[in-house]
A and B are shown apart, each in its own frame.
Chain A
Amino acid sequence: MSVGVEHYVLLSLALFCIGLFGVLTRRNALMFLMSVELMLNAANINLIAFAFYHGNLTGQVFALFTMALAAAEVAVGLGIILVLYRNFRDVDVTVPSEMRW
C-alpha cells in the first residue's frame, strides 16, 4: 500500500502523545524538557509531511525555523532549571508549588 499522508500524521501524533505522556508523568525537570523536545519534533514531522503532500517547500523551511526555536527554548529552559535547582535544591517539578492560592 502506498504511504499516504495519514501515516505521517499518525506517526507525528504518536510522537506527540509520547512526548505528552512524558510531560504529564515525568518528575525530573530534565526529562520534562526532553519530552517537550519530543513534542516539538513531532510537530516538525507533521510540517514536513504536509510539505510533501502539497508539493510545497514552505513546510520544510518552517521546520528549520522551529528547530532553531526549539534550540533557543532549550537554552532558556536549562537556565530556568538551574535557577530552580538553586532555589529548591531539587529538580523535581512537583516540588515547587508556590504559584497557587
Chain B
Amino acid sequence: METAFELAPAIVLLPLAAFVVALLFGEYMPKKGAFAGIVATAASFLLSLYVLAAVASGGEFQETYFTWAAGDALSETGETTIEFTFGILLDPLSALMLVIVTLIAFLVHVFSLGYMNDEGETGLRRYYAELGLFTFSMLGFVVADNLLMAFMFFELVGLCSYLLIGFWFRTESAPSAAKKAFLVTRFGDYFFLLGVVAIGATFGTLAFQGDGSFVAEASSAIDANETLFGFDAETWVTITGLLVLGGVIGKSAQFPLHTWLPDAMEGPTTVSALIHAATMVAAGVYLVARMFGYYALSPTSLAIIAFIGGFTALFAATMGVVKDDIKQVLAYSTISQYGYMMLGLGVGGYVAGVFHLMNHAFFKALLFLGAGAVIVLMHHEQDMWKMGGLKDKAPVTYYTFLAGALALAGIIPFSGFWSKDEILFDAIILGLEEPIFLAAYAMGLLAVFFTGFYTFRMVFLTFHGEPRSDAARDPHPIGWNIKFPLVTLGVLALVAGVANLAPVGKLTGLEITYLEFWLDGQYGGYADLTYSEYGDTVPFETTYIAGSETITLLIAAGLGLGLAVGGAVFAMVLYNVPEPVPHTENLGSARTVLRSNYYQDEYQVWLAEKFTLPLARTADRFDQSVIDGVVNGVSSVSLFGSSRMQRLQTGVVTNYAALIIAGFIALLLVLGVLGGWFV
C-alpha cells in the first residue's frame, strides 16, 4: 500500500497547517481556530489508521526527505562521512504511536471546545495554535528516523509544553511553572545532546534502522571487541546510552527530574491530558523503545533504567497518597506509571513497556479529561475536599472516570491490569535469575498497592459521599463535546487490554497476544527492530518459579491483583463514607514529608543556589570584566589616542603652518634618503 506511506508526511504536516491557520486567522474563526485543529487531527488520525493498515499488511517504510548537512567526518568506527537528514521511519512501533497520538490529540481538541470555548476563556487563538504546533512536533518526533531529528522535535515538544503550561501567563504561578518545566527538561536534554553528539562521533551515523544504523554499528563494534574513545565498546555504549537517558529522565519525569510535572498542572487540564499524560512524557519512553536495540547491548544501562523506573514508581505513588488537588494526584500517578514503563523496558519486557504506554495514554488521558469535566462541574474548583456526591449529578463523567480509575489501579479486566501484570511478570522472571532486579520488582509491586489506594481515594472523595460545598451541590452542566471524548476513552480503557492478553494466552494456549506479534514484525516491519531481535540481544536470562511458567504467571498476577484490590478496598473503607475525614493526617510527620514531595523541590533549588548560581556569577563576572574589558580596552586605546590627537588642532594658524612644514621636512628626508639626494 504505497500511497499510505507516500501520504505519511501529511500526518505530521497537517497539524502544522492548523497551527498556521489558527495563528493567522484564529481571530476571525468562530471557535478561534478549534475547527482547524479538529479537522487536522481527525485527518491525521485517519491517515495514521491507513498507515497502520499498510504496515499490518506487510509494509514498512523509511525515507529521507531532506539532507540538510553532509560532510566528511572521521568517526571512531571508521566511517568517513556523516549526514544530517530529515526522514521518516514507519514501522509497527511508530505506526502504533501515531494512531495513539493523533487520536488523543483529536479528542483533546474536541474536549477543548467544551472546556475552553464554552467556559469563556480568552486567548484561544494562541491556545489552538500552540496545540497544533505541539501535535506537529510530537508526530514529527514519533516518525523521526534518526536521533538528531528526534532530538530536534524533542526540544520543540518541550517548547510547546512551556508555551501551553504558561497559557494563563498573567497569573504568577503559571509562567513560573512553565519556566520550571522548561528548565528541568532542558537540563536533561543537555545530556541528551551530549549523547547524540557522542553517538554521531563514534559511529558516524544517527539512523535508527538498517545496516547503516548506529545500533548495527555498535553491535558489530562490540562483537569485534573494539575500543571506542579509550573505552571498551560495551562500556562506551553504556555511557552514551546513559547520556541519552538523561533526556528521557527529564522528559518522562523520572526521578530526579520529576519535579516539573506536578507544577505543570498550572496549565489547562486539556493540556495536561494531551501533553503531560499521554504524549509528551511518553516521548522519553518512546525514545527508549525506539533505541531499544542499542540499550539492549548493555545490561548495565538496562539495569539502571529498571531501577530508576521501579524507584520512581514507588516514590511518586507514595506522594500521590496525600494530595488534595485532583490534578496533583493524577500528576504523581503519571510519574509513577512512567516509572512502570521504564521498569518494563529495563527488564527486557519491550512488549510489556509499549503495551503499558498505549494503555496509559488512553486511561490517563481519560482520567485527566474526566478531571477536567469535574473541574467544569465544580465551577473550576480543584480541591477534592470540596467535592463529593457528583456521581448522581454527572453519571457519564462518573462511569468513565471509574473505568479509567479501574484501569489505572490495574483491576481485571481493564486494560491497565494486563499491561501492569506483564511488566511485573517480566520483572520477576528476570529477578529470580539475577537477584538484583528483585529489588526493582519489589518496588514496582509495592507501588501497586499505593496506586490502588490513591486512585480510589480520589474516586471516592470526588464522586461519592455527600456534597461538601455549594459547587458540588449545584454543578455546572457539561455538554456533548466533553462527554464524547470521555466515552470514547472509557471504552478504550475497558477493551484496549484485548490487544495483548498474555496471561490468558499462556494459560489457554491461544495465540492472542496481538501486540506481541505486531511488535515482532509478524504483520510487517523491519527485521532489526522486532521484539525477537531485541530478545536475542538482551543479555538477560530468565527463569520461572518452580520451573513452571504457569505457576509464575499465576503468582505474579495474583500478587499484583491482590495488592491493587487491597489498596482499593482500604481506600473504600476509609473514604467511601458520607462524610470522609482526612485520614492522611494520622500519618503525622510522614505526611509532612510526603506533602513536601520529599523536599525534592527545595533540594533542587538548594543545588541551583549553591552551585549553579555562583558558577553563573563567576562566568558573568568573567564575561563583564575580562571579555568586555578586552573589547572596551581596545576601544579605549582608540578613544585615548583620538583625544590626544585632538590637541593637535589648536585653531591657531601658525601652528598649522608649522605642522605643514614639519611634515614637508619629514617627507623630504624620507625621499632624500631613499633617493640618494644627500649622498
Contacts and interface: CB of A to CB of B under 8 A. Distances in A.
Direct contact, A vs B (beta carbon within 8 Å): yes
Interface of A: 20, 23-25, 27, 32, 93-94, 96-101
Interface in B521-550: none
Contacts of A94: 652, 654
Interface residues of B, number: 10
Contact of A101 (B646, B658, B661): B646
A93 B653 contact: yes
Contacts of B646: 101
Given A25-B654, A100-B650, 9 more contacts: A24-B654, A24-B658, A27-B654, A93-B652, A94-B654, A97-B650, A97-B651, A100-B651, A101-B646
A24 B652 contact: no
Contact of B651 (A24, A25, A27, A98): A98
A97 B658 contact: no
Given A20-B661, A24-B661, A99 B651 contact: yes
B19 to A, nearest CB: 58
A25 B646 CA distance: 23
B649 interface: yes
Contacts of B654: 23-25, 27, 32, 93-94
B587 interface: no
B655 to A, nearest CB: 8
A75 to B, nearest CB: 19
Interface of B: 646, 649-654, 657-658, 661
27 contacts: A20-B661, A23-B654, A23-B657, A24-B654, A24-B657, A24-B658, A24-B661, A25-B654, A27-B654, A32-B654, A93-B652, A93-B653, A93-B654, A94-B652, A94-B654, A96-B651, A97-B650, A97-B651, A97-B652, A98-B651, A99-B649, A99-B651, A100-B649, A100-B650, A100-B651, A101-B646, A101-B649
Nearest to A24: B658
B590 to A, nearest CB: 79
B154 to A, nearest CB: 59
Contacts of A96: 651
A-B CB proximity, top 3 nearest:
A97-B651, A100-B651, A100-B649
A94 B652 CA distance: 5
Nearest to B656: A99
B646 to A, nearest CB: 5
B560 to A, nearest CB: 89
Contacts of B658: 24
A97 B651 CA distance: 4
A98 B649 CA distance: 10
Contacts of A101: 646, 649
A88 B250 CA distance: 80
Nearest to A95: B652
A92 to B, nearest CB: 10
A29 to B, nearest CB: 9
Contacts of A32: 654
Contacts of A98: 651
A93 B652 CA distance: 7
Contacts of A100: 649-651
Contacts of B650: 97, 100
Contacts of A25: 654
A97 B649 CA distance: 9
Contacts of A23: 654, 657
Contacts of A99: 649, 651
A24 B654 CA distance: 5
